[in-house]
Amino acid sequence: MRAFTYERAKDVDAAVAAAQNPGARFIAGGTNLLDLMKVEVEKPAHLIDVSRLPLKDIVDAADGGLTIGAMVTNTDLAADKRVIERYPILTRAIVNGASAQLRNQASTGGNLLQRTRCPYFYDVSKPCNKRAPGSGCSALQGINRMNAVLGGSDACIAVHPSDMAVAMMALDARIETKGGAKGGRTLPIAELYRLPERTPERETNLEPGELITSVILPPAPPGRQTYRKVRDRASYAFALVSVAAILDIDDERKVRGARLALGGVGTVPWRARDAEQGMSGAVVGDKTFQAAGEVAVAGAQGHGGNDFKIPLARRTIARAFTDLTAKA
């Protein structure tokens, strides 16, 4: 690990000001950043500890939504009664990720900004455009079983690993920030993440030194919610495919509204809007749900080792919506 300096920010303004230092990085729970520093993938010169900032509350919003402080731990967010009742998709996504110890330490902001688990990103002896721009992508012709089938480019096919972000994508969360050129802003979560294209090293639209201060959840959408995660073992494993599904049906069992987001398959947490629109007004059942699965992965591209994710995603989508109907 390289030497670095450290300071604990006393408030948000101080954190944002300190982030102007060259090579400065925020550290929250540290469960991802420290691992990357140990293998010298991340080499910050200065760490700004934001974990004790007063951003640990979950507050009711006037419109019926929730505002979640960026330092709320994954455990506290998943266990919040309002989240369990109104956004069960979020609780399910969180508790399906990592381990209890990690969730106790990991923060809301850090979870959204965790970096890919592509093995070549961690292996500094191998080419990786995300870690070393212009060096090449080892995964394209290499071991790519865990890599993306949606949103990839010739430069990178790394999966975004967060489960929480997939649920927040389905819930149309908004991200609040401080710092950066505008001093702070609110942006939809869909605009937080960037496709890799030619610059996979830039994963988000945040500016250097821009701090996530909170996540806003709009009022819960009507209908039932579920999060289904398929992985190599029952716990403590990243998704091969995950599905965040919300389904609202009328008395004639027709779809009034559907939302669908995917994890484990996309270079960003993936919202499948075409599939959602295709379901509108359709009678619920196998035909509708299988069609949704087809549409959701219509543009998918496998790279050999990860080809299996395409049919797996189709089936997992159909299964998630079937579960929601069965419970109705």
- Number of CB atoms found within 10 A of residue 132's CB: 14
Minimum distance of ligand FAD from residue 22's CB (angstroms): 15
Q: Does 28 bind ligand FAD (CB under 6 A)?
A: yes
Nearer to ligand FAD, 113 or 318 (CB): 113
Measured from the CB atom, the residue of 50 and 317 that comes closer to ligand FAD is 50
Q: Which of 158, 258, 261, 268 binds ligand SF4 (CB under 6 A)?
A: 158
Residue 284 in the binding site for ligand SF4 (CB under 6 A) = no
Q: What is the largest CA-CA distance in the chain?
A: 64
Question: Considering only residues 111-170, where is the footprint of ligand FAD by CB under 6 A?
Answer: 111, 113-114, 161-164
User: Residues 156, 217, 295, 310: which binds ligand SF4 (CB under 6 A)?
Assistant: 156
Should residue 137 be labelled a site residue for ligand SF4 when binding is judged by CB under 6 A?
A: yes
Rounded to whole angstroms, what are the CA distances from 239 to 7, 15, 107, 305, 309?
A: 35, 33, 19, 15, 10
Tell me how many degrees the CA angle 171-172-177 measures, rounded to the nearest 5. Answer: 120
Residue type, position 108, single letter? T
Q: Is 109 in the site for ligand FAD (CB under 6 A)?
A: yes
301 Cβ contact list (under 8 Å, min separation 6): 149, 150, 152
End-to-end CA distance of the chain: 53
Helices 286-296 & 309-327 angle (0-180, nearest 10): 140
Binding residue for ligand SF4, selected from 26, 87, 121, 289, defined by CB under 6 A: 121
Distance CA 103, CA 97 (A): 8
Q: What is the 8-class DSSP label of residue 166?
A: H
Q: Does 130 bind ligand SF4 (CB under 6 A)?
A: yes
> To 5 degrees, how large is the angle CA 110–CA 222–CA 326?
100
Q: Which of residues 29-48 bind ligand FAD (CB under 6 A)?
A: 29-33
Applying CB under 6 A, which residues contact ligand SF4?
116, 118, 120-121, 128-130, 137-139, 147, 156-158, 200
Applying CB under 6 A, which residues contact ligand FAD?
25-33, 50, 70, 74, 97-98, 102, 105-107, 109-111, 113-114, 161-164, 211-212, 238
